[in-house]
Structure 1
Amino acid sequence: MNSWLRTPDLVRLAVAQSPAGLDKTEDRIAWLRDALPDLTAKSIDLVLLPELFLCGYNIGDTLADRAEPADGPGFEAMRDLAQTSGIALHYGFAEADGTHLYNSALCISPDGTVLTHQRKLGIPPGFEQTHFTPGVGCSLFSYRGMRFATLICYDAEFPETVRHVASLGAEVVLVPTALGAQWGWVAHTMIPCRAYENGVYLAYANSAGSQNGMEFLGASVIAAPGGAEAVRAGSEPEVIFADLDRAKVQAAQARLPYLKDRLSLKLT
């Protein structure tokens, strides 16, 4: 019996830590296309890809040239891959909407439906502030019986954002990121803590290697509701996966009811 066979009521999530140095959008889509047959064989339900996966992160003013509408050619290519593989694909891209440029993420189901469209809320110091407009609001989507939310990179570093989507009912928080090699504490300590303090799964998808002089940490992770690491990537490109069990979310939140008890705190 294959070790990756799973119980039907679990959701099997993969985090694809893709190579940062892939130059063109076509190269990035080709890398994913080559990886998908193995993921289909492993009964993966959903693949989480890094921040700005379609265009690359550290590409400077080229961002504007590679940006596209939410229903642009990159979307069409990803929709075809989702339908062909039978796997939902969650990916980051530079979104052009009128005169505005957004750091965005989409998730497409195997039937071609858009499950979510999220724009990055917080624009961190650095080159992003000269390119991107902040998004507004968070939304949840349901897939395979679990409730998901998306926060993009810097957004998950605020305790308020993860607490907000957990309070809305998210059981899994998907975080595409582009974390540099100097920020190891974020990936190794902060992100599992966010899962623990809300009793949710938190999946963190980073790039690996370098792009135009920027070194990426790798260290993608799926953190379980109790804060333990279900699976952790190294520094090289790879795909990791874990089975998500909503019963573990319920157990963690019952054991440490932060979401409920915070409402009774008398802070003033």
Structure 2
Amino acid sequence: MSVLRVAAAAYPVDFHPGWAAYEAKVTAWVADAAGRGARLLVFPEYASLELISLLPPELHHDILALRPALQAFLPEFLALHARLARQHGVGLVAGSFPVAQGGGYVNRAYVFGPNGAQHWQDKLLMTRFEAEEWQIDPGTGVRVFELPLTGEEALRFGVAVCYDSEFPTLARQLAEGGAEVLVVPSFTSARAGYTRVRVGSLARALENQFYAVHAPLIADAAWTYAVEEAVGRASVYAPADHGLPETGIVAEGEWNTPGWLVTDLDLELIRRVREDGHVLNWRDRHAGQTRPGPAEVVPLGVAVYG
């Protein structure tokens, strides 16, 4: 099965009156994407934070206090996503969750298999907002997930949570582990932040000659400082080469418009480009890393003014 249908969510933050409303929303979203044939579904970074609406109002703007309070919802959150992945037979990257870990908190993206099996990828590099205000700790290590497709075939993919996509080493480790798709869930409060993640994802797709699937959070939620505003558009990126778009953009949704972006990824195109593309970034990765030595500073003489 060389064609994989993926769904990237431009997911809106809503205020929910209770758990049942949240469960109904997520259930409907998953059913929609699965009903359109998607085998891998990706929710954005911190999509779970609409659960803040279920907390007492005095916690809605208290960044540090809401972290432990959210832990009460984690078991039900995990059970819901495991059930939906199993019910629809899909791979599912849930909206990341601030999880209590080792005396602190990590930003964890849970990944579910079509049998409901639960795994995760923690964000490794914290933005200033997370480090200085949320006091979220970096996770450790990267994982490559194998999503069963047909027969003995499986897709290998990795997760780079938002800011992680802006650093080449993390994605390179995933590619070395066999990943052919990089999943990028993001939460960015301004267009500049979205652009940084977009450019990073495009660069990672180019360097590693694989697909990148970008799922952004959408929010206009003055009721909580945590995700007060979030912008973006769901997109899928690829290296600009044989059979792939010359812009590097396979598909994209409308700006700040909630919904699924459902796209078919031809994995054979990626494999062919790695073997016989116009350029061979993947083949040349070691030379690109080792050939440049330390930068030499070369004086160009004394300035001459007019």
So what's the TM-score if we normalise by structure 1? Answer: 0.86
- Correspondence 1:170-189 to 2 at 5 A: 170-183=179-192, 184-189=194-199
Letter in 1 for 2:184: V
Q: Which residue of 1 aligns with 2:126?
A: 123
**CA separation in 2, counterparts of 1:250 and 1:24?**
48
Of residues 10, 22, 35 in structure 2, which corresponds to 1:17?
Answer: 10
Give the superposition deviation at 1:69: 9.3
**CA separation in 2, counterparts of 1:40 and 1:127?**
32
For 1:214-256, what per-residue CA distance to the aligned partner results, in whole angstroms no more than 9, with x for missing partners? 3212212111243622221221211111112221211222213
Q: Which residue of 1 aligns with 2:253?
A: 233
Instruction: Provide closer, same or farther for how the CA distance between residues 181 and 86 of structure 1 changes in structure 2, counting only shifts above 3 A.
Output: same
Of residues 80, 85, 97 in structure 1, which corresponds to 2:83?
Answer: 80
SS in 2 for 1:110: coil
Q: Which residue of 2 aligns with 1:198?
A: 208
Q: Which residue of 2 aligns with 1:48?
A: 42
**CA separation in 1, counterparts of 2:32 and 2:205?**
28
Contact residue 174 and residue 204 of structure 1 kept, 8 A: yes
Give the superposition deviation at 1:105: 0.7
Give the superposition deviation at 1:262: 2.9
Of residues 158, 165, 169 in structure 2, which corresponds to 1:149?
Answer: 158
Contact residue 68 and residue 96 of structure 1 kept, 8 A: no
Give the superposition deviation at 1:132: 1.1
Instruction: Provide closer, same or farther for how the CA distance between residues 125 and 35 of structure 1 changes in structure 2, counting only shifts above 3 A.
Output: same
So what's the TM-score if we normalise by structure 2? Answer: 0.76
Letter in 2 for 1:230: V
Contact residue 200 and residue 225 of structure 1 kept, 8 A: yes
**CA separation in 2, counterparts of 1:68 and 1:257?**
49
**CA separation in 1, counterparts of 2:5 and 2:212?**
13
Give the superposition deviation at 1:98: 4.3
Q: Which residue of 2 aligns with 1:134?
A: 138
Give the superposition deviation at 1:178: 0.3
Q: Which consecutive unaligned segments of at least 5 residues does structure 1 have?
A: 1-7
Q: Which residue of 2 aligns with 1:242?
A: 263
Give the superposition deviation at 1:25: 8.2
Q: Which residue of 2 aligns with 1:260?
A: 283
Instruction: Provide closer, same or farther for how the CA distance between residues 132 and 263 of structure 1 changes in structure 2, counting only shifts above 3 A.
Output: same
Instruction: Provide closer, same or farther for how the CA distance between residues 251 and 9 of structure 1 changes in structure 2, counting only shifts above 3 A.
Output: closer
Contact residue 88 and residue 108 of structure 1 kept, 8 A: yes
Contact residue 105 and residue 137 of structure 2 kept, 8 A: yes
Letter in 2 for 1:196: L
Give the superposition deviation at 1:28: 4.0
Letter in 2 for 1:194: R
Q: Which moved more, 1:141-150 or 1:249-258?
A: 249-258
Letter in 1 for 2:260: V
SS in 2 for 1:54: helix
Letter in 1 for 2:206: Y
RMSD over equivalenced CA pairs, Å: 2.4
Identity of aligned residues (%): 23
Q: Which consecutive unaligned segments of at least 5 residues does structure 2 have?
A: 53-59, 241-246, 294-306
- Correspondence 1:60-71 to 2 at 5 A: 60-61=63-64, 62-67=66-71
For 1:5-34, what per-residue CA distance to the aligned partner results, in whole angstroms no more than 9, with x for missing partners? xxx542111011111244578344322211
**CA separation in 2, counterparts of 1:176 and 1:28?**
20
Instruction: Provide closer, same or farther for how the CA distance between residues 132 and 23 of structure 1 changes in structure 2, counting only shifts above 3 A.
Output: farther
